[in-house]
Each structure stands twice: as structure tokens, then as C-alpha cells.
Amino acid sequence: EPEVTQTPSHQVTQMGQEVILRCVPISNHLYFYWYRQILGQKVEFLVSFYNNEISEKSEIFDDQFSVERPDGSNFTLKIRSTKLEDSAMYFCASSERSGYQPQHFGDGTRLSIL
Amino acid sequence: ELKVEQNPLFLSMQEGKNYTIYCNYSTTSDRLYWYRQDPGKSLESLFVLLSNGAVKQEGRLMASLDTKARLSTLHITAAVHDLSATYFCAVDNPYNFNKFYFGSGTKLNVKP
């Protein structure tokens, strides 16, 4: 069964450094998402992306965050200057269309900011 | 802001017992999703409920949706240890399909 793949599985970064999290969504999916989950807490929406532009973003997704689809397969989340509170599990998800379908999640990238 | 509340947050039960997890949400929506998450793992889609009165069953789990009450339930029948996980419900934004709102999750521990 096709799946969403994320790399790396674990990223350790010094505070203030830039980090890029990578995702390969399911190939025929058109909608892409990033969520984060702080340890032990619920999953929070960050951003959705369709047709090469952001569809919606949350309050968490401030100017330090950006997303990009640099080619036909990858979908990236960049954090420009990481803070301690950015430490979380980041999940990429994709769906074939918007609404009425589950979003399919990758295994996540655990981001640890030191 | 759409709110999704689950209860209980923690559930410890013996094998063989039945229990129900509840998911309430704050706005009109006819689309609700249940996910399972094992520790350190991703979210696995369990059920997609797309209309009032929808009922889906898979093994020992059954999910239902009452859009008028803004309530979904996940019923566990004769629990087994393998069902131990955290269960999340999620709701679409009814005006913008582009994001899910997740509940806080119910951590289920089934004791042998």
C-alpha cells in the first residue's frame, strides 16, 4: 500500500539553526499538510498546501516557517531559526482530495532543539 | 475556532470488557475521522464517518456519528491487549476542508 515517507526520523539541532524536514507524499495525492505533536499532547495543524501554494495556515505557522514543493515528489517544511519550543514530532500528511477522505500520515520526524 | 473534546483521556481496562470513547465537537460537520497511534508511531486511519447515523465496524471496534448531537463514539467490544494505543478523533473544518482538528486523544491500556 502506498505510504507517506518522511526523513529524517530524528533531527537534533542547536537553537537558532535552520532545519528542513522532508516528506514524500503518496504519488497521486494533491493535498499536502504538516502537523506537529508536542510530546504527550494532541496533534496540531500547521499548514495545508495545494496547487503549489498554501491553502491555510495556523497561528503556529509564523514567519519562521515555510513550505515548498521543490519538485514533483518532495514536500518540505523549513524552520528558519529554531526555538526550544519547536521541539516536537512533525507529521506530514497527504490526501487525494480535500475533505471526505482521511489524510494519510507519515511516520513523523522527531525534532529536538538543544 | 472549532473545538474537539474526547473523553476519557485515559482508559485502563481488563481484557474481555467493553467500553466507549466519546468525541464531541463544537460546530456542524458531517465528516469525522478516527485514528490510532501506537507509542512513537504515526497515525493510522481507522474509520471515516461521512454522514449522520454512519456506523463503521472493524473487528472489535465500532464507530458511529450523530451530527445533530455533534458526537461520535468509538466502542470497544471484548478488548484485547493489542488494542492498547492512543485513539484520536478528528473533524474537518466545515467551511474549509484543508485542515483537521484533532481531539486530545484517549490513551487506552488493556490489561491482560
* Average pLDDT of the segment spanning B78-97: 89
pLDDT tens profile B28-84: 778 899 999 998 888 999 999 988 889 999 999 999 999 999 999 999 999 999 999
Whole-angstrom distance, CA of residue B31 vs CA of residue B51 = 7
Which of B99, B102, B103 comes nearest A56 by C-beta?
B99
Choose the closest CB to A48 out of B41, B44, B98: B98
Q: Which residues of B41-65 are buried (b: 16+ CB within 10 A; e: fewer)?
A: ebbeebbbbbeeebebeeeebbbbb
The pLDDT score that the predictor gives to residue A107 is 93
- Residues contacting A50, CB < 8 A, separation 6+: A30, A31, A32, A98, B98
Q: Which residues of A touch B33 (CB under 8 A)?
A: 102-103
Q: Decide if A64 contacts A79 (C-beta within 8 A).
A: yes
- Residue A95: per-residue pLDDT: 92
Nearest Cβ partner of B92 from A42, A99, A107? A99
**Distance between CA atoms of A52 and A59, rounded to whole angstroms?**
21
**pLDDT at residue B91, rounded to an integer:** 92
Asked if pLDDT for residue A77 goes beyond 90, the answer is yes
The DSSP letter of residue B12 is E
Please state, in angstroms and rounded to a whole number, the distance separating the CA atoms of residues A41 and A91: 14
Q: What is the pLDDT of residue B52?
A: 87
Q: How distant is the Cα of A35 from the closest Cα of chain B, in angstroms?
A: 9
* pLDDT value of position A15: 96
In this structure, what DSSP letter does residue A109 have? E
Average pLDDT for A10-23: 97
| Residue A72 scores a pLDDT above 90 | no
Q: Can you give the pLDDT at residue A48?
A: 93
Distance from CA of B95 to the nearest CA of A (A): 10
Q: Is there a contact between A111 and A22 (Cβ–Cβ < 8 Å)? A: no
- Compute the average pLDDT of residues A77-105: 92
